[in-house]
Structure 1
C-alpha cells in the first residue's frame, strides 16, 4: 500500500505482525505525512495486541489457552504508547480477544438510546398507529442494533441476547407486559415482524 493513500483517511487501523514492523511503519508514516502538512495525533493513538489461541505440535487449537503476548514498549515522538484491550473503528468494536461479547453489548446499548428516546413520544402514544411505530422501529432501531452484523459469527447465547432485546422492544411497542404471557412466536405473529435470525441471515 502507498502511504500517501492513507492521507485521505482521518482514522486508521494498522495491523502488523511484529513490533519492529509496526515501528518501521510509524516512522515512514510520520516522515511522509509531515511532508504533506499532516501529523499523527499521538494522544489518540492506541496500540492493541491481539490475543491468539495456543496450538499443539499438530497445529490443533488448545481450548482456553492463549499465546503469551508480546511486551510492547514503543514510543512515538518520545511519548509512551497507550495500550488498550478494545477500540472503536468505523463504528465497530475491535477487541483483543476477538470475541463478540463486548460488541453485542455495545450494539444493544447504542440501539437502546434511540428506542427509549422515542418511548413516550412514539411507542406510548395512542395517536400513532402500530404500523407507523413498527416502521419507525425498523428504520431507527434495528439498523443500529445490527450494524456490522454482516461479519458476525455469533454463538447461540449471543443470538439469544440480541433476540431478548429485540422482543423486549416489540413488547413495549404494542404495550404487552409479562402478565399477558405472550410467547415470542405469538409476539412476532401479532406484530408481523421477522425473527432476529432472519435479519442476521439476510445480512
Structure 2
C-alpha cells in the first residue's frame, strides 16, 4: 500500500508472510528461516501453511527443509477464520455458529437462573464471541442480519419465548436491557476509529488506516470499506 511494502507480520509465536508471486514467497521464506536460525529459533513445517488469496484455486508450492508446506483455502488466525476468497460473511457465520453453540450449552447448565443473571452471562461470555473483531471490518446488510438473528435467538431463549409468541424483538431487548448488537458494534467501531486517529504516525494501524491498496480491484461491485461503514449517516445518528 502506497510507497511502503509490508511482507512480514509477527505476533507472539505467529509469523505472517506475504508476497506477490510464488518465487518471491519462497525467497522470503528462506530469508525468514535463515534469520530465525541465527536466533536459535526453528520454523515448524507441520504447523506452517500456505494460502493463495484469489477467487480461483491456484497452486502454491513452498518448500522448507525439503518438505512441501500444506496449502489450505482457509485457516484460523488469532480466533478469526481467514479464507482465500476473502469472504467476510463466512467468517461472521463461523463466529455466529460458535456463539449460538455456547448459548445452547449455557441453556443446559444455567438457564434456570433469573433473566437478569442470564443476560449478564450473555453479555460477558456470548456477545464478545459474536462480535469479535467486528470493529475492524466493514458492515454489510448480510453481516447485520446474521448478528441480529443470532442474538435474538439467544435472547428469546433467555426470555423463554419463541417466534410463535409474536413478541417484538425490540420489546425483548428493552425488557432484558440489552442494546442492539449492531448499534453496539457501531459504537465500538467509532471508538476504535478515534483510538487509531490518536496513535502516532509510525504505528502500523495508523499507517494502514490512511493508505489505499496499490493493486487493481476485481471486476464487479466494489466491496464496502471500513471507513464507509462507520461514517455513514445511519451510524452518525446512532445512540
Distance apart, 1:101 and its partner CA: 2.1
1:70/1:117 Cα in 2 relative to 1: closer, same or farther (>3 Å)? closer
Provide Cα deviations, 1:68-124, integer angstroms capped at 9, x if missing partner.
Answer: 76542222222122111111111111111112122012101221232222113322x
* 1:120 corresponds to which of 102, 108, 115: 108
Alignment partners' CA distance in 2, 1:70 and 1:167: 40
Alignment of 1:12-51 (within 5 A): 12-51=15-54
Distance apart, 1:156 and its partner CA: 0.8
Say which structure, 1 or 2, has more relative contact order (CA 8 Å, 6+ apart). Answer: 2
The higher radius of gyration belongs to 1
Aligned residues: 182
Compute the TM-score of the two structures, normalised by the length of structure 2: 0.69
Structure 2 gaps of 5+ residues are 189-239
Contact 2:51 2:60 in 1 (8 A): no
Greater mean alpha carbon deviation, residues 166-175 or residues 147-156: 147-156
Alignment partners' CA distance in 2, 1:167 and 1:106: 17
Compute the TM-score of the two structures, normalised by the length of structure 1: 0.81
Alignment partners' CA distance in 2, 1:180 and 1:168: 13
Note if 1:77 corresponds to 2:62. Answer: no
Match of 1:106 in 2: 94
Match of 2:156 in 1: 171
Alignment of 1:82-161 (within 5 A): 82-123=70-111, 125=112, 128-161=113-146
Distance apart, 1:147 and its partner CA: 0.6
- Look up the SS of the partner of 2:161 in the other structure: coil
Contact 1:13 1:89 in 2 (8 A): no
* C-alpha RMSD of matched pairs (Å): 2.2
